[in-house]
Amino acid sequence: MSVFELIYLRRSIRRFKQKAVDYELLKKFADAGRIAPSASNMQPLEFIIVDEPDTVDTIFDHTEWARLLPNKTGRPQAGQQPVAFIVILVNKDHETAWIGHDVGAASENIILTAMQYDVGTCWLASINRKKIASLLDVPENYRVDSVIALGYPDEHPVMEPIKDTTAYYRDETGRLHVPKRELYDILHRNIF
């Protein structure tokens, strides 16, 4: 699949099959994050792969999912939870003003590489950073930025042109619909 096709087909996944993702694959995803663009090439990011089931469960407890959906229906139910996390750490000693850009580039590298191996992801910033840092023994000079949940997808969200709201929703079959603004609404040529 071309990179463009991967980009088009990528959706955040919040229901996963309970099948482990091979550690070598997870390492490959982190490697894709490692070589992402980085402002001044400072490379302040490090990653913790969490694939030990009890630790995955505990991190899961410190995450929030799809806040726009009612009654926590966006949260993966028992039997559909992620099987691994990649925790994105920032080394504060090497952090620049562009850290958000670094994290974004690395995360998208991880997410698209995972997709190429049929592994679904959901990037999560609504997390309890303190609890996760303490659980994983993260040193003082690092901070937890966000986590990427991983696993083989057990749902097939669909992207659609936006109607009146950006809010994603589940239809009567439970399928997630993700509205996106149209290209002609956001693209300008030569002048705004």
Ligand X SMILES: Cc1cc2nc3c(=O)[nH]c(=O)nc-3n(C[C@H](O)[C@H](O)[C@H](O)COP(=O)(O)O)c2cc1C
Distance of closest approach, residue 30 Cβ to ligand X, in angstroms:
18
- The correct pick among 7, 125, 158, 162 for binding ligand X (CB under 6 A) is 125
**Number of other CB atoms surrounding residue 58 within 10 Å:** 15
Distance of closest approach, residue 22 Cβ to ligand X, in angstroms:
24
Q: What is the DSSP string of 98-148?
A: THHHHHHHHHHHHHHHHHHTT-EEEEE-SB-HHHHHHHTT--TTEEEEEEE
String marking each residue 36-65 x if it binds ligand X according to CB under 6 A: ----------------------------xx
Distance of closest approach, residue 89 Cβ to ligand X, in angstroms:
16
Distance of closest approach, residue 24 Cβ to ligand X, in angstroms:
26
Q: What three-state secondary structure class fits 49?
A: strand
Give CA–CA dist 151/119, Å, rounded: 5
Q: Is 123 among the residues that bind ligand X (CB under 6 A)? A: yes
Instruction: Give 44 or 74: the residue with its C-beta nearer to ligand X.
Output: 74
Angle CA 2–177–100, to nearest 5: 65
Instruction: Give 44 or 157: the residue with its C-beta nearer to ligand X.
Output: 157
Instruction: Give 27 or 156: the residue with its C-beta nearer to ligand X.
Output: 156
Q: Is 11 among the residues that bind ligand X (CB under 6 A)? A: yes
What is the pairing mode between strands 176-180 and 158-161?
A: parallel
Instruction: Give 98 or 123: the residue with its C-beta nearer to ligand X.
Output: 123
Instruction: Give 136 or 178: the residue with its C-beta nearer to ligand X.
Output: 178
Give CA–CA dist 140/68, Å, rounded: 33
**Number of other CB atoms surrounding residue 31 within 10 Å:** 13
- Which range, of 16-24, 28-36, 118-126, 133-141, touches ligand X by CB under 6 A? 118-126
Q: Is 152 among the residues that bind ligand X (CB under 6 A)? A: no
Residues contacting residue 6 through CB under 8 Å, at least 6 positions apart: 112, 115, 116
Task: Give bridge partners of residue 169 from the DSSP assignment.
Answer: 177
- The correct pick among 66, 86, 87, 132 for binding ligand X (CB under 6 A) is 66
- What is the contact surface with ligand X in residues (CB under 6 A)? 11-12, 64-66, 74, 122-126, 157, 168, 178
